[in-house]
Chain A
Amino acid sequence: MEILSGFANALDPSNLIFVLMGVFVGICFGAVPGLDPTTGTALLIPITYAFSPVQALLFLTSLYLGGVFGGSITAILFKVPGSSEAVMTSLDGYPMTQRGEAGKALGIAIMSSSIGGTLAVIVTIVLSTQLAKVALQFGPAEYFALAVLGLSCVSSIGTNSQIKSLIGACVGLLLATVGIDAITGVTRFTFGSKSLLSGIAFVPAIIGLFAASEVFNKVSQKQELEAVENVDTEKVKTKLMSLKEILALKWTILRGSVIGTWIGILPGVGATTASIISYTQEVRFSKHPEKFGTGIQEGIAAPEAANNAAAVAAMIPLLSLGIPGSGTTAVLIGAFLIHGLKVGPLLFINNSDLVYSIFGGMFIANFVVVLGGLFAVRFFVKLVKIPYPIMATSIMSFCIIGSLALGDVNGVLLMFVFAVVGFFMGHYKYPTTPVILGLVLGPILETSLRRALMMTEYNFIDLLTRPITAVLLGLALISLLAPWIGKLISFAKDKTSNFPGH
């Protein structure tokens, strides 16, 4: 059993220390806005030059896993998604913090991340080659259907006004078209700005829309705020979930892991998309979809399980086909190269020790995430005690420097625009999440549709009857119609009522 020797190898103290270090450094990278796990991995690759190949790859993969989790800490505590992967986590995480349940929210995030990641590692070990082959069946048409599925629940997320959600989603989709068109190279809606050529930068947009607008909102309250809301600071302790609680969320976590694993395998879509689709599907499966966005446990467990699973699963196409499944795995190729290794199926044959050690390392890293999470959280939670004016000043500084870090001065301008827009959206009860969904899924939606149609000579029937596409679009249609179907059923039951006119 090679996998056992792989575990043994990863558990060897000289290697284990790199897993530990990787996870801790990764959590720090993830938690600080402006530093995302991908950048972190790239920044630290030169350091690994001095490590052995096993140590280097254990360190970097652990760093990535830690980073994907780390973003959720600040997302939950301050509504500042430390990395884009955590954007969905703040939707239900932050309301829980406001209710004084920060510890519980963090506990759920830690456990779901860990379980999601672990399940994905198991899948990777067992089914790597087979899954990678199936993933190749996903062409542009299927990517399009996937994006439609992700958007289909938009009207039922965190709002009581469906029309406002839909307007927000359309605005997001429109914003996604800004910049150089991926199919023709024509520039669209840039108004002469160079930095808009590459489109609306995603991280400044979420930082502005979520974090900075929240700071503005709090700062402009007429009454002075002492500390972050009514958080009972003495009580903020991370509570890991009990077995019973885990079991209560078992389907949510499982669904999240499966969706995350699958999306992680697909090249070109990553952990952020995985967490979005997982969240929206959870809304669809839920018996009480209206509660999402108000701070419920499923809203944290679903995206967190999915993003860690996706982070792990991105290794599947890398190791079995030589095709990276995400931005970070593309960076990892560089690490392999530095150590004279070429990724691809031959790696399994020539360096199977290394591959299984990486698997073992990823498995262990998911447990270290729990430890590292507890440690980091204990630390970050103390920050909640700081008087709000000081906290607001720090968050604002991080928002500005973080946007500056991930682009140029125009990133900051963009952040401010989104902050002001977000401030007024909150004021007029427009939900901000649909805008983000539109912004992330828009490019996948548009380019895969156009690519797919170009490839089939604009044969729509051909496009829609591909089996996977048909299934995904069917699911999306059900989600879209679900509210109306519900009304129809209640209408049938209650024959005296009038048909709901819309």
Chain B
Amino acid sequence: MRGDLVINVFLLLLAGYFYKLTYSFKQISKYDVMGPGFWPRIVLVFLMGLIIFAIVIEIRKMIKKVSQEEDKNQKISYKKFIFALVVSFGYFFIMRYVGFVIATLVFQGMFLFVQGVRQVKILILTPSVLTLLLFILFIKLMYLPLPKGIGIFRSFSLLLY
């Protein structure tokens, strides 16, 4: 598969970069002969060896044209994946500005929407109940320091917790 090859080459470059980084660690103790860079180097050499091996196999497969274009997982829609990722990440991102409660309500509604739920009732009810549940569990019982937001949102959060 071409994808495998791309991943392997990418990993190889990354491993090479990390290998270079290991030489920037400083040697401190005279008793620790190996130093902080020794073990990562062993692992990286191993890793690079394995990747090169994998690349050779891939190339041989390509030359021999045994490439069985089997299940390329055509069922996956990258558009949906990106949407889901953006929504979840956005949730975490806005949480520190608008506080936990509001962010969670909005996120849950949007995440349902991304998944193709269009019934307004579900879009409103599920987030309300779920947020309440999470609120009770994590804030009222466990006292987690979840973000309260800033400005007006902070004042709102302070009313609740």
Query: A-side interface residues toward B, CB under 8 Å?
Result: 32, 34-35, 43, 163-164, 166-167, 170-171, 173-174, 177, 181, 183-186, 188-189, 212, 215-217, 219-224, 388-390, 392-394, 396-398, 400-401, 404-405, 409, 412-413, 416, 419-420, 423-424, 427-428, 446, 449-450, 453-454, 458
Residues in chain A near residue B117, CB distance under 8 A: 389
Main secondary structure of the interface of B (DSSP, over half): helix
> Which residue in A189, A217, A396, A420 is a CB contact (below 8 Å) of B111?
A396
Quick one: CB contact mask for B132-161 with A, threshold 8 Å, 1 for yes?
001001100010101000000000000000
Residues in chain A near residue B127, CB distance under 8 A: 393
Q: Are A177 and B40 in contact (CB under 8 A)?
A: yes
Q: Are A446 and B39 in contact (CB under 8 A)?
A: yes
Q: Are B57 and A453 in contact (CB under 8 A)?
A: no
B124 to chain A, nearest CB (A): 13
Q: Are A184 and B36 in contact (CB under 8 A)?
A: yes
> Which residue in B32, B54, B76, B134 is a CB contact (below 8 Å) of A450?
B32
Ordered by A's residue number, 22 sampled pairs between the chains whose C-beta atoms are within 8 Å are: A170-B46, A170-B47, A170-B50, A174-B18, A174-B44, A177-B40, A181-B25, A184-B32, A188-B22, A188-B36, A189-B21, A216-B84, A220-B80, A390-B112, A393-B115, A401-B138, A409-B92, A409-B96, A416-B89, A428-B3, A450-B38, A454-B31
Q: Are A400 and B91 in contact (CB under 8 A)?
A: yes
Q: Are A183 and B112 in contact (CB under 8 A)?
A: no
Residues in chain A near residue B76, CB distance under 8 A: 217, 220-222, 427
Other than the known A177-B43, A189-B40, what 17 A-B pairs have Cβ atoms closer than 8 Å? A163-B57, A167-B47, A167-B50, A174-B43, A183-B36, A216-B81, A220-B76, A222-B74, A393-B111, A400-B92, A401-B138, A404-B92, A405-B144, A409-B92, A416-B85, A427-B76, A450-B32
> Which residue in B7, B31, B81, B96 is a CB contact (below 8 Å) of A219?
B81
Q: Are B126 and A405 in contact (CB under 8 A)?
A: no
Quick one: CB contact mask for B89-133 with A, threshold 8 Å, 1 for yes?
101100010000000100110011011110000100011001000
> Which residue in A217, A389, A450 is a CB contact (below 8 Å) of B116?
A389
Q: Is the CB of B73 closer than 8 A to any CB of chain A? A: yes
Q: Are A396 and B88 in contact (CB under 8 A)?
A: yes
Q: Is the CB of B59 closer than 8 A to any CB of chain A? A: no
Q: Are A450 and B39 in contact (CB under 8 A)?
A: yes
Q: Is the CB of B75 closer than 8 A to any CB of chain A? A: yes
Q: Are A43 and B142 in contact (CB under 8 A)?
A: yes
Residues in chain A near residue B80, CB distance under 8 A: 219-222
Q: Are A397 and B104 in contact (CB under 8 A)?
A: yes
Residues in chain A near residue B63, CB distance under 8 A: none
Query: B-side interface residues toward A, CB under 8 Å?
Result: 1, 3-4, 7, 11, 18, 21-22, 25-26, 28-29, 31-40, 43-44, 46-47, 50-51, 53-54, 57, 73-78, 80-81, 84-85, 88-89, 91-92, 96, 104, 107-108, 111-112, 114-117, 122, 126-127, 130, 134, 137-138, 142, 144, 146
Report Cα–Cα, A215/B117, bound state, in Å.
16
- Most chain B CB within a 10 A radius of its CB, from A171, A174, A185, A222: A174
Report Cα–Cα, A405/B146, bound state, in Å.
8
Q: Are B4 and A454 in contact (CB under 8 A)?
A: no
The answer to whether A221 and B75 touch (CB under 8 A), given A189-B18, A393-B111, is yes
B51 to chain A, nearest CB (A): 6
Q: Are A423 and B46 in contact (CB under 8 A)?
A: no
Residues in chain A near residue B40, CB distance under 8 A: 174, 177, 188-189
Residues in chain B near residue A164, CB distance under 8 A: 54
> Which residue in A170, A184, A449 is a CB contact (below 8 Å) of B28?
A184
User: Nearest chain-B residue to A39 (Cβ)?
Assistant: B142
Q: Are A184 and B92 in contact (CB under 8 A)?
A: no
The answer to whether A223 and B75 touch (CB under 8 A), given A174-B18, A185-B28, is yes
User: Nearest chain-B residue to A406 (Cβ)?
Assistant: B144
Residues in chain B near residue A163, CB distance under 8 A: 50, 53-54, 57
Q: Are B32 and A222 in contact (CB under 8 A)?
A: no
Q: Are B84 and A405 in contact (CB under 8 A)?
A: no
Report Cα–Cα, A166/B11, bound state, in Å.
13
> Which residue in B35, B50, B122, B142 is a CB contact (below 8 Å) of A166?
B50
Residues in chain B near residue A181, CB distance under 8 A: 25, 36
B13 to chain A, nearest CB (A): 14
B58 to chain A, nearest CB (A): 10
Report Cα–Cα, A221/B73, bound state, in Å.
10
Report Cα–Cα, A174/B146, bound state, in Å.
31
User: Nearest chain-B residue to A400 (Cβ)?
Assistant: B92
B72 to chain A, nearest CB (A): 9
Q: Are A393 and B108 in contact (CB under 8 A)?
A: yes
Report Cα–Cα, A184/B31, bound state, in Å.
10
The answer to whether A427 and B73 touch (CB under 8 A), given A186-B26, A186-B28, is yes
Report Cα–Cα, A215/B43, bound state, in Å.
31
User: Nearest chain-B residue to A399 (Cβ)?
Assistant: B88
Report Cα–Cα, A188/B35, bound state, in Å.
12
> Which residue in A222, A424, A450 is a CB contact (below 8 Å) of B77?
A222
Q: Are A184 and B29 in contact (CB under 8 A)?
A: yes
Report Cα–Cα, A96/B36, bound state, in Å.
43
Residues in chain B near residue A396, CB distance under 8 A: 88, 111
B2 to chain A, nearest CB (A): 11
A480 to chain B, nearest CB (A): 13
Report Cα–Cα, A60/B138, bound state, in Å.
21
